[in-house]
Chains A and B, each alone.
Chain A
């Protein structure tokens, strides 16, 4: 397999992981809005569903993007596809 094909395979793998995490916190958990609300997990004392819509999911998305960017940079470096700084 060519270097480029391997790079793309890894990139696609990272995409699927990223989208899976995204799916859980943007769609998955809200299938159970009512159950989460009545659960005993209460971050900072807020009801769980309320907290996820106010801050929880939003904050996770911020972290997820930075994590994704870091991983993708590593993949690009591994196969020698990073940009030169002076580009």
Chain B
């Protein structure tokens, strides 16, 4: 069917795949009309897509080192952009982001600005230079640029702390979705999620993860955009919601004042009734509700974190050239933009459809008993994501008497707006794709650092290829299981631990990476002090704040990366200047990295 090499046929292959997926959606829609139950549709969506990813993972198996670590350095710009976007957008972006915007408004949108602005730093400060370097992993760059096993080991420690914090959240998210869609208990679903993640990455390493991530991006973006456009058109809000929802935003503000948002406060006794994790609308939809510093500090942490997270950075090691790496960052952000710019629109549509009494779906102002009789209310109430209570006893549902979980904005809005169930099944498949693709990238980043940097570079430099790859795969499985075991304990929420991961990465890696390229005088002693000191300072601040210390400068447990990275920068500069300058060979290496032409510092096989 496809002649020639796989790489040359990519547009055709993924075009066919996308067409096939759309046909599958249509088949499911026909099935729904013919009487297929909602549960069967949900199972079909998740099972079908996961099987496809597993098949791609199997077809991409490899026994070559450069294919396993770098996907053979031949991933074209646009496809690498898609893979990075899937790698990047986690279960949290997919399931929780619109909910965060819905409840917290402007203050939360700092995350949107931070998670996109960070890519400017990636493109201008790091990605092209690290691609020229030719490293397999981020610690590989640190270890070679600064020299010495201590620097390499420190980088591996920071990488592991940050990525592991992140990966438990992702495995948790795959478990949540698998347990809802397949109707199995959460602590079993976590391992089902893990098995699907490992199927995508174990046999083919980076190569397999790359091609499954492209497939996962296609599923998740269709699953996110289709409902947004459909709901907007159905409500008559606008054919193209992104440019046409200004009236709806204004209407929400009007309704907020009409329903007395902010003037009626719930008593503590009333709030005790509300199930844990659900919240009411307490903040205006589109008003500036936070101080500039709070907004900016959160955005800065997310931006610097983006530029330090190894699972993202390593995606740019797989492009054919330095030029392609640079452009690929642009494409990544474009594909991310498609989803991020839709999340606020979904939040607007969701809120208006619940609030506006002129719409058939509006529930505020209706009688409590009427609301409690609605089908979708009963479903989502049972799933512990919605709750109403007549606090003031007037029999009517007031704005302050309606509570919802953040996930419900993405998961329940299609049903509330009266879209067919096939869309809800599609959304479940999209959420699964988002969480799986990020988990894949993270597990691979950790196990590659351990197998390449610790085992091969430090313990056994003479290991043969077969043995290296065997160790890499064993570590992959072990890390996955460790992550799943912790995820099954359900310690923190999904979004909280994602933000921590950014702060950890920023604390330990941001300045050692950037100065490695941009400051020739930086040396190994400085880098080690910067990495370990930054990580320790950030972690100490986090623990202190968690145990009741009020903190300073309004730096919270979500922005502790500021403390870590400032300590890291100061230590790195001071220690570097106090110790000997790097030798001539290292300085020459930095010069080499700064120009795109010529051979990579580290060869294809190293």
Query: Interface residues, chain A, CB within 8 Å of chain B?
Result: 4, 7-8, 11, 14-15, 18-19, 22, 25-27, 30-34, 37, 42, 44-47, 49-50, 53-55, 57-59, 61-62, 64-66, 68-69, 72-73, 76, 80-84, 87
Contacts and interface: CB of A to CB of B under 8 A. Distances in A.
Given A50-B106, A57-B113, A68-B124, A44 B286 contact: no
Contacts of B296: 27, 30-31
Contacts, number: 140
B521 interface: no
Contacts of A7: 594-595
Chain A interface, >50% SS class: helix
B221 interface: no
Given A26-B299, A57-B117, A65 B242 contact: no
Nearest to B287: A37
Interface in B285-335: 286-288, 290, 292, 295-296, 299-300, 303, 320-323, 326-327, 329-330, 333-334
Given A15-B125, A27-B299, A30-B113, A44 B244 contact: yes
Interface of B: 106, 109-110, 112-114, 116-117, 119-121, 123-125, 128, 242-247, 249-250, 286-288, 290, 292, 295-296, 299-300, 303, 320-323, 326-327, 329-330, 333-334, 337, 340-341, 344-345, 591, 594-597
Contacts of A44: 243-244, 246
A30 B471 CA distance: 48
B337 A59 contact: yes
A23 B462 CA distance: 47
A81 B595 contact: yes
Contacts of B120: 18-19, 22, 26, 61, 64-65, 68
Contact of A84 (B121, B591, B597): B597
Given A65-B329, A65-B330, A69-B330, 8 more contacts: A26-B113, A46-B286, A54-B112, A61-B333, A68-B123, A69-B323, A80-B597, A82-B597
A1 B119 CA distance: 32
A-B interface, 10 closest residue pairs, ranked by CB to CB distance from nearest: A45-B246, A53-B109, A26-B117, A65-B330, A81-B595, A50-B286, A54-B344, A33-B288, A69-B326, A22-B120
A58 B113 CA distance: 6
A34 to B, nearest CB: 5
6 contacts: A11-B594, A25-B117, A30-B113, A30-B292, A58-B340, A81-B596
Given A58-B112, A62-B334, A37 B117 contact: no
Contacts of A57: 113, 116-117
